[in-house]
Chains A and B, each alone.
Chain A
Amino acid sequence: MKVSRRDLLLGSAGVAAGLVFTPVPWKLLGDASIWTQNWPWIPQPAHGPIETKQSVCTLCAAGCGIRVRMAAGWPVGVSGVSTHPLTKGALCPLAFAAQQLNWHPQRLREVRHRGRAASWADAKAAFEKACSEGPVAIVDGRPGRAASSVFEAFAAKHTGSYQVVLGPENRALLPYAEWSGVPVCALGYDLENARTVVSFGASLLDGWGTPGRFTRLWSKRAAGQMDPPLRLIQIEPSLSRTAARAWRWVPVKEGSEAALAAGLARVLIEERLTSTKGPVPPMTLAEASTQTGLSIEEIRDLARTIAANRPAVVITPDANPAVAALNVLLGAVGASGGIVLRGKRRAASTIPGPANNSLRAVLIDATVPWEYVPQSDAEVFRFAAWDGGNSKADWLLPAPGFLEELTDLPTEPTSAVETYAIAVNLLTPGAEIKSATQFLAQIDGSLPEIEKVIHARCEELFKSRAGTVFAAKAVAVAQSESAQKLEEQLRGGGVWMNDAPRSGSLPCTLKQWPTDAAKSRALDWASLWAPAVLPPLAGKLYQESNLREAPARRSA
């Protein structure tokens, strides 16, 4: 019996007809549709127990309280802590994507020596050689930490120098430090008691200091009100976000902030609007008017407005002596609502050491901004969690990233009172990641241990009986059970805050009006974000929307 083509066709027809009465086509259709929804290249979230842990963000010196949602041991969400005394639950915009940072494509995961892969052993050998051949400098971007004491100890023992890089909000206080002889890290801004805040271009509502502090204050006391108890006056050439929401926006010509400050000072003195004695600026009102683009009457009106609601304080984005002098005249230095002295805790001490050009090596901690370039031809050992690109460093050393390092946070740069917090590492980085202190400990085993330093600091805090710990509830230290309990609360994401400063005035000696003025430079929004790279989701703000301009130097 020959099987013909017709047989084949008929047979297939039969099979097809029969299949309809079997589960095959229906099940295959359904399963295939499910298959099309499960492509293997579509990532799936991790499955595991969900926990929420409280900690403190260490990406910049602000140390905002964070609540980290973890699933299967990985951080999957970041939000603020409403009981944090400074942030009141707010965070900077990019913090909400911080959990992505550890997997950023530019994350450093191996030691690199001049572009080639190397090992920690190589780096250690090179650093030890450098130490034996000449003086070494250690650069710290966040002084006052337990790690900072380790750096200082190393520099002291090995005849090196310990240098500190300050952030812009700290640098803005340098003039007052100079004039009053007080270390700059002992100064803060008492915004909570100010009634008029005059910002000369500082982005107070968009990333200045601790993000939540002024935004929450302003929201409560000023937003939407015609005659608010807190008046924000923004002096800026263009309409920034802060200027757009300020009570008054004073548009001045670019670079004329010093002229305006001089003009305002003249009016304050001439019209006797201030009782504080101070030097008279050399500039006349007419000159100020020409330089700023405001009329003389407008300058007079502004001065009267500032003086009308005291305390008034002037804030600049960076060190600007010519404008800072205005605070002296307004009586805002050392007074409530102005620039205040925040207790006598140890300020950052630097060990000057030899001049930069005779240094053999420089070790730069991960907390130093990526743009910092040491001014010498020393061999540079750069610790960083992320590679910001174009590094001139000889050695790139992979440091712990987000939530990966046990560290403590000394007083927040702009705070009016002292604060202290501990950030526990919620994640354990791999063996290839080392912090600068771990690296130095391998070279000199006698250096203080971070855990012990933190423990000692908690003991000190407990003994002082001062301040309050803001954990789930605010508990006065005087009522705290033990140093151990205090440390536990801090390790659990709590924050210690000192009582209001009782210290009084900060006498400033200012013989003549400063002529030294900072160049006004528009701070790119991305440059206020401390890490070297932006989280990938940052693209929502400038690429997938027109909300912000594309960042000048960094890519997400």
Chain B
Amino acid sequence: MNARYGMVIDLDRCTGCGACMIACAAENNVPPAQPRATYRTGVTPMLVRKATNGQEGALRREVFVPITCMQCEEETPCVSVCPQQAVEVDKATGIVMQIPQRCLGCRYCMTACPYHARYFNWWDPQWPAGMENSLNPGVAVRMRGVVEKCNLCHARLHSAMAKAAAEGKREIDPADYVPACVEACPTGAILFGNLADEKDPVYAAAHSADSFRLLARIGTEPKIHYKSTQAWIRALAERSTEHSGEAQHG
């Protein structure tokens, strides 16, 4: 396999419903919030943030931006700082692979990530009694003290690979590998596919005039693209913001 999995997220279609956040947490066995957790200490491998055009009243405009690991291709910041070598860019798929069980919890990668897309498990995971029966067996549960992030629903890629092998095929069927957020989105705002395949719809979308990447100027070559027909939204791409609820333009 020589794929480069990535996404193009259409911000004109994202309604900020949060289905992707819930589906991601359910798929990846992310525990429900501890009573003391806040947006700074929570674990949300997919996080939808709101940005506005800074105006109030009738002139106010809002956009919802789903933020996830950008799967940086070049000089991946988290890979370069990890003292444990717990994270690596997969040569076969382009996915930035992190093994939480190898992490020692120094959180250097969280500092290094320009997109604040990494989350630390401040607490041991806790579910109400019996709810562990609803855990996804394809994903290992993390204990406290380790960092985690989006891994493009690697468990689903595994299932697709096993199914292809059982059917005697060398390549997976793309319909079998759909990350949870992509599947959950009610407006189909997230387009997922192989950016290395020119025939894949995601390739055309990523190369269209309306598409952009966040903080492209720092050169990490993220594989998560965004698109919008609205200029004020595209202009948000090169701004970095404080890690708060809203980002403002101007």
Contacts and interface: CB of A to CB of B under 8 A. Distances in A.
Q: Are A and B in contact, CB atoms below 8 Å, in the complex?
A: yes
B136 A93 contact: no
Interface of A: 37, 39, 41-48, 50, 69, 71-72, 74-80, 89-97, 99-100, 102-105, 205-207, 211-212, 215-216, 218-219, 223-226, 239, 241-242, 244-245, 249, 251, 535-541, 543-548, 556
Contacts of B183: 79-80, 89
Contacts of A79: 23, 180, 183-184
A218 B33 contact: no
A97 B32 CA distance: 10
Given A44-B135, A251-B57, A545 B17 contact: no
Interface string B76-96: 000000000000000000000
A226 B229 contact: yes
Given A100-B134, A239-B62, A540-B22, A547 B127 contact: no
Interface string B182-216: 01111111000000000000000000000000000
Query: Closest 8 CB pairs between A and B?
Result: A544-B42, A546-B245, A224-B12, A536-B32, A43-B132, A90-B186, A539-B33, A45-B135
Contacts of A46: 132-133, 135, 137
Interface stretch (B44-52, B105-113, B165-173, B234-242): B44-52
Contacts of A537: 22, 25-26, 30, 32
B58 interface: yes
Contacts of A249: 58
Interface in B139-161: 139, 141, 143
23 contacts: A39-B143, A42-B124, A44-B132, A44-B141, A71-B137, A80-B184, A92-B17, A97-B25, A100-B134, A103-B129, A105-B129, A205-B187, A216-B188, A225-B229, A244-B63, A244-B64, A536-B32, A536-B131, A538-B22, A539-B37, A540-B30, A544-B44, A547-B50
A216 B189 CA distance: 10
A109 to B, nearest CB: 10
Contact of B137 (A47, A90, A91, A239): A47
Given A80-B183, A91-B184, A244-B63, A544 B134 contact: no
Nearest to B183: A79
A37 B143 CA distance: 8
Contacts of B27: 77
B130 interface: yes
B17 A103 contact: no
Given A96-B22, A545-B18, 19 more contacts: A42-B124, A42-B125, A77-B136, A93-B184, A96-B19, A225-B229, A241-B16, A244-B16, A244-B62, A244-B63, A536-B128, A536-B131, A540-B22, A543-B39, A544-B38, A544-B43, A546-B50, A547-B48, A556-B32
Contact of B128 (A42, A69, A104, A543): A104
A91 B188 CA distance: 12
Interface of B: 10, 12-13, 15-19, 21-23, 25-27, 29-30, 32-33, 37-39, 41-44, 47-50, 57-58, 60-64, 101, 124-125, 127-137, 139, 141, 143, 180, 183-189, 228-229, 244-246
A349 to B, nearest CB: 34
A93 B17 contact: yes
Nearest to B184: A96
B134 A74 contact: yes
A99 B26 contact: yes
B12 A77 contact: no
Contacts of A242: 15
Contacts of B244: 546
A212 B15 CA distance: 12
Most buried by B among A215, A226, A244, A540: A540
Contacts of B38: 543-544
B75 to A, nearest CB: 29
Contact of A544 (B33, B137, B141, B180): B33
B26 A97 contact: yes
Nearest to B61: A244
Given A47-B137, A79-B184, A223 B13 contact: yes
Contacts of B124: 39, 41-42
A64 to B, nearest CB: 10
A211 B141 contact: no
Given A211-B186, A224-B12, A545-B39, A99 B17 contact: no
B150 to A, nearest CB: 14
B42 A76 contact: no
B17 A241 contact: yes
A244 B245 CA distance: 17
Most buried by B among A74, A206, A211, A244: A244
B133 A74 contact: yes
Contact of A224 (B23, B132, B228): B228
Contact of B136 (A45, A80, A546, A548): A45
Contacts of B29: 45
A76 B136 contact: yes
Contacts of B188: 216, 219
